[in-house]
C-alpha cells in the first residue's frame, strides 16, 4: 500500500500538466472569448477541410515512401554480423541526432533554383527544375526527417526473428523471395505498424517542414494551428478547435493501427 504512494507526485503532475491542458484545449475550443459555450469554432474548422485532406494525403505518401525505403534497409541490417550491425545502426541513426531544423534548412539550400541539386542536373544538361516550395519538397522533407523513425522499429522487430525460422522455411522448400513474403513480412508486422505510427503522426502535424520547404503557400494543419496562436491570425479558440479535431483524427488512426496488433501489445484502448 505504501509503495503506491511513491508514485503520487507523478500522478499529481500528470493530472495537472497532461490532463488539465487537454481540458483547456477543449475549453477554448468550445467557448468564445467571453467564456460562453459555442459550437462556432469547432464548426468553423470544417472550412479548412482541404488543408486537413492535404495534410493527411502528404503524410500518407511520406509514410508509404518511408516504409518502402526502410524495409530493405532494416532487413539488410539484420543480415549482417553482430559487430557490424551495431556500427551500421549507429551510422544510420546518427542523422537523427542532428538538429531537426538544421537538416530541413540544409534541404532548403540544396533544392533552390541555384542549389546544388539543380547544379548537378545542369552538368548533365537538364534544365533547372522547380523543386523548392512545392508539395514534393514537403514530402521529401518529411521522408528525410522521419526515415530513421521507420528504420528503428522495423529493425528491432526483425532482429528478433530467429535465424532458425528462416532456415526452417528454406528447408521446407521456400525460395528466399517466398520466405520474405510468407515468413518475414507477417512476423515484422508489429514493427511496421509502430513505424507507421511514429512517422505518420509527426508528419501530419509538422509546421516547420511546410514552412521552410513549402514556401508558405502549402499550408498544413500544423501551420494553421501555429498561425492561430503565434502567427498572423491570432484566434486561440479556432486554434484549439483545430487541435481538437487533429487529436480526434489521430485517435481514429491509432485505433485502426491497433487492430493489427495482438491484444497485449495494445497501446491505447
Partner 1 sequence: MLKKIAAMFLSSFLLTAALCSCSNVQEQENDADDTEEVEYQTLSVEDEDYYTRFKNNGISINVYNWGEYIADGSEEGTLDVNAEFTKLTGIKVNYTTYATNEELYAKLKGGGASYDIIIPSDYMISRMIKENMLTKLDFNNIPNFKYIKQTFVNPLYDPQNEYSVPYTWGTVGIIYDKTLIDERDIDWDILWNEDYADRILMFDNPRDAFAIAEILLGYSINTENSDELKKAAEKLKEQKKVVQAYVMDEIFDKMGAGEALIAPYYAGDAITLMDEYEDLGFVIPKSGTNLFIDAMCIPAGSKQKEAAEMYINFMCEPDIAYATTSYIGYSTPNTAAYDMLDDEIKNDGISYLDDEYLSKNTTVFYNLSDEANIEMQNLWTEMKSAQDETKNKWIVPAFMIICVAVSIGILIRRYIKNKKDIF
Partner 2 sequence: MKKFSKIYLALVLMFLYMPIFVLIVFSFNTTKSRSVMSGFTLDWYVKLFRNELIMTSLRNTVIIAIIASISATILGTAAAIGISKMRKFPKAVVMNITNIPIINPEIVTGVSLMLLFVFFAARMNLEFGFTTLLIAHITFNVPYVILNVMPKLKQMNPFLYEAAQDLGCGPVQAFFKVVLPEITPGVLSGFLMSFTFSLDDFVVSYFTSGSTSQTLPITIYSMTRRKVSPEINALSTLIFIIVVIILVIKNIIEHRNDKPVTKAKEEI
**Which of partner 2, partner 1, none does residue 200 bind (CB under 5 to 8 Å by kind)?**
none
Which range in 24-32, 65-73, 115-123, 145-153 contacts partner 1 by CB under 8 A?
115-123
Chain position carrying cell 550491425? 85
| Binding-site member from 105, 134, 136, 156 for partner 2 (CB under 8 A) | 105
72 scored as a contact of partner 2 (CB under 8 A): yes
What residues contact 171, with CB distance under 8 A and at least 6 apart? none
Interface with partner 1, residue 133, by CB under 8 A: yes
Cα gap 141→138, rounded to integer Å = 5
Residues 71-90 that bind partner 1 (CB under 8 A): 84, 87-88
Partners of residue 31 on adjacent β-strands: 37
69 binds partner 2 (CB under 8 A): yes
Measured from the CB of residue 69, what is the shortest distance to partner 2 in angstroms?
6
C-beta of 14 vs 256, nearer to partner 1 = 256
Structure-block grid coordinates of residue 38: 459555442
Q: Are 93 and 152 in contact (CB under 8 A)?
A: yes
CA–CA gap between residue 141 and residue 203 (Å, rounded): 10
The count of residues interacting with partner 1 (CB under 8 A) is 40
Outline where 159-268 has alpha helix (H).
163-171, 176-179, 185-187, 189-205, 208-214, 221-230, 236-258
Q: Which stretch, 9-17, 68-76, 201-209, 210-218, contacts partner 1 (CB under 8 A)?
A: 210-218
Distance CA 256, CA 83 (A): 38
Instruction: Give CA–CA dist 226/134, Å, rounded.
Output: 20
Query: Counting contacts by CB under 8 A, is residue 176 touching partner 2?
Result: yes
Judged by CB under 8 A, does residue 86 bind partner 2?
Answer: yes
Rule CB under 8 A: which of 206-265 touch partner 2?
Answer: 207-208, 212, 222, 225-226, 229-230, 236, 239-240, 243, 246-247, 250, 254
* Residue the block writes with cell 508486422: 189
Give start and end residues of each alpha helix (H) in 98-162.
Answer: 100-111, 116-124, 135-158
Q: Which residues bind partner 1 (CB under 8 A)?
A: 47-51, 53-54, 56-57, 84, 87-88, 91, 112-114, 116, 119-120, 123, 130, 132-133, 215-217, 219, 224, 227, 229-236, 256, 259-260
Amino acid at each position: 500500500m505504501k509503495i503506491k504512494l511513491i508514485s503520487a507526485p507523478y500522478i499529481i503532475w500528470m493530472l495537472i500538466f497532461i490532463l488539465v491542458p487537454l481540458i483547456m484545449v477543449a475549453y477554448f475550443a468550445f467557448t468564445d472569448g467571453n467564456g460562453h459555450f459555442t459550437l462556432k469554432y469547432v464548426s468553423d474548422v470544417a472550412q479548412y477541410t482541404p488543408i486537413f485532406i492535404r495534410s493527411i494525403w502528404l503524410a500518407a505518401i511520406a509514410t508509404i515512401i518511408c516504409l518502402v525505403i526502410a524495409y530493405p534497409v532494416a532487413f539488410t541490417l539484420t543480415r549482417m554480423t553482430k559487430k557490424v550491425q551495431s556500427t551500421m545502426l549507429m551510422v544510420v541513426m546518427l542523422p537523427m541526432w542532428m538538429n531537426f531544423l538544421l537538416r530541413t534548412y540544409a534541404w532548403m539550400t540544396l533544392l533552390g533554383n541555384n542549389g546544388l541539386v539543380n547544379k548537378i542536373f545542369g552538368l548533365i544538361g537538364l534544365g533547372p527544375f522547380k523543386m523548392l516550395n512545392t508539395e514534393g519538397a514537403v514530402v521529401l522533407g518529411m521522408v528525410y526527417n522521419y526515415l530513421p523513425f521507420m528504420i528503428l522499429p522495423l529493425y528491432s522487430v526483425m532482429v528478433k526473428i530467429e535465424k532458425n525460422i528462416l532456415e526452417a522455411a528454406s528447408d521446407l522448400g521456400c525460395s528466399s523471395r517466398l520466405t520474405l513474403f510468407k515468413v518475414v513480412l507477417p512476423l515484422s508486422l508489429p514493427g511496421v505498424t509502430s513505424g507507421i505510427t511514429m512517422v505518420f503522426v509527426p508528419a501530419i502535424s509538422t509546421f516547420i517542414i511546410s514552412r521552410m520547404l513549402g514556401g508558405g503557400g502549402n499550408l498544413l494543419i500544423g501551420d494553421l494551428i501555429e498561425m492561430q496562436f503565434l502567427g498572423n491570425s491570432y484566434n486561440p479558440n479556432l486554434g484549439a478547435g483545430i487541435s481538437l479535431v487533429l487529436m480526434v483524427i489521430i485517435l481514429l488512426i491509432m485505433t485502426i493501427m491497433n487492430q493489427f496488433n495482438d491484444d497485449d501489445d495494445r497501446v491505447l484502448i
